[in-house]
Amino acid sequence: MDRWITIAGNEAAARIAYKVSEVIAIYPITPSSDMGELCDQWSAEGLQNIWGTIPTVREMQSEGGAAGAVHGAIQAGSLCTTFTASQGLLLMIPNMFKIAGELSPAVFHISARTVATHALSIFGDHSDVMACRPTGWAMLFGGSPQEVQDLALIAHSATLKAQVPFLNIFDGFRTSHEIQKIVPLDDAEIKSMIDEKLVAQHRSRSMNPDHPTIRGTAQNPDVFFQTREAVNPFYDATAGIVADTMDQFHKLTGRQYNLFDYIGSPQAERVIVMMGSGSECAEEAVRALNAAGEKVGLVKVRLFRPFDGEKFMQALPPTVQSIAVLDRTKEPGAVGEPLFQEVVTVLAVHGHPAAPKTIGGRYGLSSKEFTPTMVKAVFDELNKPEPKRHFTVGIHDDITHLSLDLPEIFDTEDPLGYRAVFWGLGADGTVGANKNTIKIIGEETPNYAQGYFVYDSKKSGSVTVSHLRFGPNPIRSTYLIRQANFVGIHQFGLIFRYPVLDRAAPGATVLLNSPFGPEETWERLPRTFQQEALAKEIKLYVLDAYQVAQETGMGVRINSIMQTAFFALCGILPPEEAVDKIRHAIEKTYGKRGPQVVAQNFAAVDQALAHMHEAKLGKASSDIDAVEPVSASAPAFVRDVLGEIIALRGDDLPVSAFRDVGTYPTGTTQYEKRSISLDIPVWDPAICSQCGKCVLLCPHGAMRAKVIRVEDLKNAPHSFHYADAAKFRGGEGLAYVIEASAEDCTGCGLCLEVCPERGTTPEHAGASLEHVDVIPESNKENWEYFVNLTDEPALPETPIFDNAKALQLIRPLFEFSGACAGCGETPYLKLLSQLVGDRLLIANATGCSSIFGGNLPTTPWSKDSHGRGPSWNNSLFEDNAEFGLGMRLSIDSQRDRAFSIIKKERSAIGDDLVDQLLAPEKYGDPDALKARREVVDQLRAKLQGQSSEELAALASLADSLVDRSVWIVGGDGWAYDIGFGGLDHVLASQNRVRILVLDTEVYSNTGGQASKSTPRAAVAKFATAGKPTGKKDLGRIAMTYGHVYVAEVAIGADDNQTIRAFREAEAHNGPAIIVAYCHCIAHDYDMKEGYAQQKRAVESGYWPLYRFNPARAERGRNPLMLDSADPTIPLRDYVEKEGRYRVLMRRDPELADVLLSEAQKDVDRKWLALSRLAATKEP
């Protein structure tokens, strides 16, 4: 028992890889990032590999870079590994061809993930590894964390003998993130599988000046083919070597793997062939079917490449009549998917006496659920006289009708097992507590344990659902729990928005975190919940976890309280023993935070049970309704498709719901009223100075302002209020309104922070936060009314929109994103949408901005009242600058053609109109833009009914005559690292593209790995000891070109400078780049302080504000204008407020001092250089 550990698939792979590697080069990508991070952490901790050395772990700038570094390290004689998935793996392909071509040992561990096609997906399937088939790498597939670990060692061992590199493959998320109880391997066991003689041979083949060789030559038609064929003996031997290695592993551990493992009836007639985690579920289903007398079986493919046809034939039972091959990938245009093709070919080549009918199907793309019911559906299909030759299972395909109908639910769960589902909110500790629970049960009882976690895609206020299974037997249920014995609901608000009882089995125990107590709670439940509770006869327990937390000084941390209650109710451990183990775990987890924190947690645990009570079920008579996922007034597509996805019913949508294949309407977040904050904004018109800062700086677009004629407010709702717009020049007698959408607010509190007007107390400002128990109807009414008022300001003169006060009156076309509360990136995007939104194309790099910008079901990019708004696309990560350049080239090409037709057809169109169309367009002038649109409309009218080919072409190109603006947007991960090559190339061009770098100084979206933008002394993943090198100065590099407009901005420090930089970039006749300071939760402090930190960053000289405008050089002036003042505070005053620096200052004060004084020198040097550059009068 003491040998068991509970870990997820990623860690299982990493543990082996680390032990048998010397050089590890990495680049993060979901869901593989954990592997690299663990290796980095172990290396920093000084953990040794089996040779007593500490592996070198190096983060590269992209996966291509990681593969290149690994290739180099292998060639120089080291044992190497890396970890990746999806697009990252694809970027490694050219190196993989080389590494295999040079007959090198290596193992890459792959948490197989969907390759982006019509959309990006972080979830699991085999499309990435299948794209590697031609590389010549061997491919091993494991279906569970135990198998991942075991096959990892088998791969690292076999590759040395075979001289063929291996991919050790497991399903992204389903295995990579599934926690299971496994038997670990110790150093001695691992060492015994690595043949030192083979290691020495590897070294002897390396590049060595003492015995020099060359590789990577260029060859010609005379010899390339023969040389390529010389690898054949190695590949012929590989499968045999893998089989021998598996036997050696069996002798060592008692666990036997084979190239193909057959499960099921020895007389099976129907057989499924598959690989990966789906085969675990299939095994469970096959055993259940066998027990019911069905003659079915399963071949689990372990070694997919090289595919040993003979061994495969031997694995099939002699009685087989029909075979269904299941592939977890799609290859459109192919006769069949890869595994199917392999099997069919083998059967044709070797010939099977029964000539079994072989059909091929797709399942589980992008972690789509694959369940025993689906396995049964496949076997049922094989029973038919004419089974579908090609099919899909797990979806409803009502267009091409490939999907199998599913039979009744086929329940194969272990009757002795215990299943628990927990609903929580992101960051409330639910997931952490559950991982802890699995550890306790898995490692300290004889039970097997499994944990799997489902998240939605929002970065704030997101829902988490934890699926936990325990039991005396091994758990192969690689699918979500459908019949839970226990449902824990950790946030009361969730019951109004989500089907929390869906997965409860009849008679289940439900534990609800309720503020209302056992007598009152029932009345407070929505009717649908009551109905389901009664129908399923659940046992309901309530616990006011927040009260317990408050009373014991835990603040809002309820996780150990709910965890204790779970243990008491599930009975897996006697309560006292459970409490004891929980306390033990608390000490381990929180010990470093000090005895007070531990004591608080202990007190909370003790109090938990005292506050838990059973609640009697009443009648289903509540008049409280569940919340509709989208408002009833939403357009049909939003209601019928997006609404279903929001309500977690997306699985049931058929293929026909998605006929537009990946194209979606904009302006959809407005229908998704998430109500995640009970601290809502409140406006005090009496003290408001109408400065517009709260509107500009609200990250979510929940604060808006308008100036309206008083006459137009006659039908305003009762509680609607406004002020006289006297603080605007020309505004006397007009109404100034600020309205806040409480249902969309995230409660970040930045409106209050930035408001310059204070009332009687510091918490009372022009914009303040007010706590409510429930969002008042009046707020929704007022918002609805406000939104429908005209967006045109009623001021007598059109303001110049280069300052916050004027800008607040422009409706943003970016609203209510799923970004973190208080996000530093979104205000810049909102600003961009205000300045050019109705003519904007955005090329958005992968990163936070592509997730909150484009994560289905809704997008924050929206449309104005004319139906115009930004058109947005995310291509990849590394190609974003090029992607945007391509858009610009296309638009320019269309305009060129349009103008050329206009010139040619002067007589048909008319001199006056032609002259207007050919006149240069004025940028940044709303009146000029309006006039331009009118001229183009006149052209469209003129072209109506024209039949000539040229004029018809002109009509189709007319839109482009109002020039578009192309903005290339992304984070520092893209701009400084993986996309820098493309960015540089675009900067070197002369095209009118604008680049916005949302600089969070770290890879925010993948969990905080260091980038080349991370500053010296800051702690990040892969820089856990503080980044030893300084921040790359992207702005100054761009300036060296001379023709590029460059600006460094920080909207919280100087919004005026930011706005003007955006306008100047927009007007620049060439490439423009803006580097924008973005505070981020990765900086580890309360985001309420985000703008204050921006100010300190500027005041310390760390983040100088400047604009480099080449147009000034043309006028004989210095193009560089330094907009911020000389530094007035030391760097420390800025950095010591941030956890990413403080953690080092606490952990290693000496090193922190050294790095920080170097960092201060960085600041001084940069400031000196910039002020010198800016000081001269001439360019």
Partner 1 sequence: MEVKLFFGSSTGNTERCAKIVHAKLKDLIAEIIDMRKASVEDFDFCDGFILGLPTVDEGLLQEDWRRFWDEVEDVDWDGKTVAIFGLGDPVKYGKWFVDGIGIVADKLTSCGAKVVGEWPNEGYLPFESSKGLRNGKFLGLVLDEDNQKEMSEERIDRWCNQIRPSFT
Report in angstroms how near the CB of residue 1053 gets to partner 1 at its nearest.
Answer: 9
Under 8 Å between Cβ of 2 and 36: no
726 scored as a contact of partner 1 (CB under 8 A): yes
Q: Applying CB under 8 A, does 1121 fall inside the site for partner 1? A: yes
Residue 1046: helix, strand or coil by DSSP? Answer: strand
Output 186 or 1178, the one with its CB closest to partner 1: 1178
From the CB of 873, what's the least distance to partner 1, in Å? 34
In the complex, the smallest distance separating the C-beta of residue 166 from partner 1, rounded to whole angstroms, is 60
> Does 1172 engage in binding with partner 1 (CB under 8 A)?
no
Specify the 3-state DSSP secondary structure of 375.
helix
Task: Report in angstroms how near the CB of residue 538 gets to partner 1 at its nearest.
Answer: 57
Which of 729, 922, 930, 985 binds partner 1 (CB under 8 A)? It is 729
Give the footprint of partner 1 on residues 981-1020 (CB under 8 A).
none
* Contact (CB, 8 A) for 215 and 46: no
Half-sphere exposure of 788 (CA within 13 A, CB side): 11
SS3 per residue for 952-1017:
HHHHHHHHHHCCCEEEEEEEHHHHHHHCHHHHHHHHCCCCCEEEEEEECCCECCCCCECCCCCCCC
Instruction: Compare residues 106 and 1053 and give the one whose CB is closer to partner 1.
Output: 1053
Cβ contact 963:985 at 8 Å: no
Among 435, 527, 727, 1137, binds partner 1 (CB under 8 A): 727
Nearest approach in angstroms of CB 1001 to partner 1 is 23
Which of 409-417, 644-652, 750-758, 992-1000 is the region at the interface with partner 1 (rule: CB under 8 A)? 750-758
Closest CB 826 distance from partner 1, rounded Å? 21
Q: Which of 311, 527, 940, 1117 binds partner 1 (CB under 8 A)?
A: 1117
Told to judge if 30 belongs to the known catalytic residues of this protein, a careful annotator would answer yes
Q: How far is the CB of 804 from partner 1 (least distance, A)?
A: 8
Q: 63 an active-site residue?
A: yes
Give min distance, CB of 727 to partner 1, in A: 5
Alpha-carbon distance 332 to 348, whole Å? 23
Question: Strand ranges (DSSP E) for 426-531?
Answer: 448-455, 463-471, 484-489, 504-513
Alpha carbon distance 682, 767 (integer Å): 6
Nearer to partner 1 among residue 764 and residue 1095 (C-beta): 1095
- Applying CB under 8 A, among 800, 918, 952, 1025 the residue interacting with partner 1 is 800
CB of 752 to partner 1, least distance (A): 16
Q: Which of 536, 1060, 1132, 1137 binds partner 1 (CB under 8 A)?
A: 1060
- Kindly state the smallest distance separating residue 756's Cβ from partner 1, in Å: 7
Binding mask 314-353 for partner 1 (x = CB under 8 A): ----------------------------------------
Kindly state whether residue 802 participates in binding partner 1, applying the rule CB under 8 A: yes
803 part of the interface to partner 1, by CB under 8 A: yes
Residue 354 sits in the site that holds partner 1 (CB under 8 A): no
Asked if 689 interacts with partner 1 (CB under 8 A), we say yes
Name which of 423 and 1106 has its Cβ closer to partner 1: 1106
Q: Measured from the CB atom, is 102 or 802 closer to partner 1?
A: 802
> Least separation, in Å, of the C-beta of 1172 and partner 1?
16
Q: Are 1071 and 985 in contact (CB under 8 A)?
A: no
Cβ proximity to partner 1, 689 vs 778, nearer residue: 689
Q: Which residues, 6+ apart, have CB-to-CB distance to 40 below 8 Å?
A: 26, 57, 59, 1021, 1022, 1024
Burial-class residue 1142 by CB neighbours within 10 Å (0-12, 13-18, 19+). Answer: middle
* 756 touches partner 1 (CB under 8 A): yes
Which stretches of 663-775 are assigned E, i.e. beta strand?
679-683, 703-709, 723-724, 734-740, 767-771
Cα–Cα separations (whole angstroms), residue 777 to 720, 741, 743: 12, 11, 10
Measured between alpha carbons, how far is 153 from 81 in angstroms, rounded to an integer? 12
Q: Dihedrals φ, ψ of 823, to 5°?
A: -50, 140
- Interface mask (CB under 8 A) for partner 1, residues 1088-1107, using x and -? -------x------------
CA angle, residues 162, 163, 166, in degrees to nearest 5:
85
CA 488 to chain centroid, in Å, comes to: 26
- Closest to partner 1 by CB, 798 or 916: 798
List the Cα angle 487/493/499 in 5-degree steps: 50
> Which residue in 113, 287, 497, 1140 is the catalytic one?
113
Q: Is 874 a catalytic residue?
A: no
* 805 part of the interface to partner 1, by CB under 8 A: yes
Expressed in angstroms, the distance from the first to the final Cα of the chain is 75
- Tell me whether residue 294 or residue 1055 sits nearer to partner 1 (CB atom): 1055
Please identify, among the stretches 868-876, 945-953, 1051-1059, 1076-1084, the one whose residues bind partner 1 according to the rule CB under 8 A.
Answer: 1051-1059
Q: Is 1177 in the site for partner 1 (CB under 8 A)?
A: yes
In three-state secondary structure terms, 515 is: coil
**In the complex, least distance from residue 707 CB atom to partner 1, rounded to whole angstroms:** 14
Q: Is 251 an interacting residue with respect to partner 1 (CB under 8 A)? A: no
DSSP class of 1020: B
Q: Take residue 259 and report the two structure tokens written for it.
A: 């190239």
Structure tokens, 1000:
């969070």
Helix and strand numbers, DSSP H then E, in the chain: 43, 35
Count CB-CB contacts under 10 A for residue 705: 24
149: Cβ–Cβ under 8 A, 6 or more apart, which residues?
12, 13, 15, 16, 182, 184, 185
Counting residues that bind partner 1 (by CB under 8 A) gives 24
Pairing of strands 1045-1049, 1106-1108: antiparallel
Stretch that binds partner 1, among 108-116, 460-468, 742-750, 797-805 (CB under 8 A): 797-805
Q: In this complex, which beta carbon is closest to partner 1, that of residue 868 or of residue 1117? A: 1117
Question: Taking contact as CB under 8 A, which single stretch among the options 82-90, 362-370, 830-838, 1114-1122 is the one that binds partner 1?
Answer: 1114-1122
Residue 1132 C-beta: closest distance to partner 1, Å: 20
Considering the candidates 1005, 1014, 1058, 1109, report the single residue annotated as catalytic: 1005
Binds partner 1 by CB under 8 A, chosen from 56, 1056, 1157, 1171: 1056
Residue closer to partner 1, measured from CB, 863 or 1112: 1112
Burial class (CB in 10 A: 0-12, 13-18, 19+), 1042: exposed
DSSP string, 380-426: HHHHSSS--SEEEESS--SSS--BPPP-S------TT-EEEEEEEET
Q: Which of 59, 63, 815, 1138 is catalytic?
A: 63
Nearer to partner 1, 943 or 1065 (CB): 1065
- Closest to partner 1 by CB, 194 vs 1174, is 1174
Three-state DSSP string of 908-933: HHCHHHHHHHHCCCCCCCHHHHHHHH
Distances (CA, A) of 343 to 208, 281, 330, 1097: 44, 21, 16, 62
Query: Applying CB under 8 A, does 1054 fall inside the site for partner 1?
Result: yes
Among candidate residues 6, 10, 15, 30, the one labeled active-site is 30
* Alpha-carbon span 1138 to 1020, nearest angstrom: 12
Nearer to partner 1, 1099 or 1138 (CB): 1099
Provide the edge-to-edge strand list for the sheet that holds 734-740: 703-709, 734-740, 723-724
Contact call for residue 795 and partner 1 (CB under 8 A): no
Question: Is 113 known to be catalytic?
Answer: yes
Residues assigned a catalytic role = 30, 63, 113, 1005
- Report the interface residues with partner 1, using CB under 8 A: 689-690, 726-729, 756-758, 800, 802-803, 805, 1054-1056, 1060, 1095, 1112, 1115, 1117, 1121, 1125, 1177
